Amino acid sequence: MEKRLYEASLSGSVSSLTELLEEDQLILDGVVTGGFYGTTPLHIAAMRSHVDFAIKVLSIKPELASEIDSQGFSPLHLACSRKNVRMVEVLLDADPYVCKVLDQQGMIPLHLAAMRGRVEIMTVLFQAGVSDAIHVLLDRRETILHLCVKHNRLEPLKLLVDHLMSLSNIDDEESISVRSADDDGNTIMHLAVARRQLKMIRYLIESNSGVELVNASNKKGLTALGILEQSIARDLKDMEISDLLLRTQSHIGTNIGGLVNNEQPLAAVELDTNQTPSKTLHRCVSIGRENSKIRKYEDWLNEKSNSLLVAASLLAAMAFQAAMNPPGGVWQEDGLSPLRYAGTAIMADKNVQHYKQFLIFNTLGFVFSMNTVLLLVSELPLKKHFFFRYLALSMWAAAFSMAISYIVVLVSMLPSTHTYTLKNFFWGFSIRQSLYYLMAILFFFPVCYLFVKSEDYFAEKFSGEDLSELNKLEKET
């Protein structure tokens, strides 16, 4: 009967539950003491978002709302990792205090909702009175804000910051804030910079604590900019983040005693009037070094944009010339055998399939090349990581299209003798297949590199959702 109960839980069948209750009215009392695989029917209903089933169970046994499974999860923990807001409301109505229950990793349901980006569920939890639990610290004294940054959840972070600002006890020693640091002294700005989360960094800089976060040092004495400079491989996103941090420091310098002019140079630092002349000189030297880095970066961008413009222009000219003078030439006069007109491509009559392929790829090469040229002459903001990668992708597409066009023409001009149509020309492939595969391989690696470098991988997977025991249950049933 217990197995039938859990089958009903998996399917969310209220009628099956009713039948079981008619057979044994105390069937739900047995699961409170342990449950099958360390769970209760309410846990499974919460995980499967079976709201009606959960309501039925809670109407009979409301204390199941506070039961925990073998991993320390309450039903609310599981519901908060899903998208069903109604399920969360039902569980909170049964027991509002369950929102403060800690699992084996020291997390409350609010932590799981933040990790999964469930903003609506977080709002419901705040309305239920979870405000005090927001200050619960995780291992290594990490706050829920650190958790949002680690999992790249910007919207939950905004909600939490706004909520913290509305609390009256924000200055208490036990309260967390945007400036809170973990055991290593890392603030959320340190984590955001280490993970190259550009949108997160922009938001933190624009917040009321942006200045303090930029200048905060961890226990190794590193600021957010210091962590960025430790990176060996620097790309455009690193440069943009560095520019943001330096401009924030520059803004600080312009507001201190008029020591820095109003033009806001590329890089400046906050000057302390109590510093010795030698320390001040050292800080000024650091400013010069940072300005030099940015100037080199801008020179590099200009050089690359000029190179792209030249390459795109050449590809466009090649495509245009190939269209005006198609391979194989054009008919010089009209004729009936085959039917032809003067000025039309000979290849279009002799090899229709290859001519269609040639037109398609040659046109694509021309379009992508002209697209790159037009974007470059329109003064696109190349400092933006996205735009520069888009230009590189456009150039790759143009080059690839022209290469395929070349192969199509080359194959169409091969003699039809057996010497050129051997099936085992190259590892069992014909000449045509060999050329296509070789070109695909040559262009595979650049495009993989382009995509890997252009975007960061997103949030880490939900570590607390490893419900292997429940998976075993589903397989068995």
User: Which pTM value belongs to this model?
Assistant: 0.56
d(CA 194, CA 420): 56
Segment 414-470, tens digit of pLDDT? 666 544 444 444 444 555 566 666 666 666 666 565 555 544 433 333 333 334 444
List, for residues 155-189, the tens digit of each pLDDT value. Answer: 999 999 988 888 755 556 668 888 999 999 999 99
The model's pLDDT over 281-309, given as tens digits with 9 standing for 90+, comes to 444 445 455 555 666 666 666 777 788 88
Helices (H), 128-274: 144-150, 154-166, 188-194, 198-206, 210-215, 224-229, 236-254
> From its phi and psi, is residue 437 left (phi > 0), alpha (psi between -120 and 50) or beta?
alpha
* pLDDT tens readout for residues 338-357: 666 776 777 777 777 878 88
Residue 244: name the closest of 212, 302, 199, 209 by CA: 199
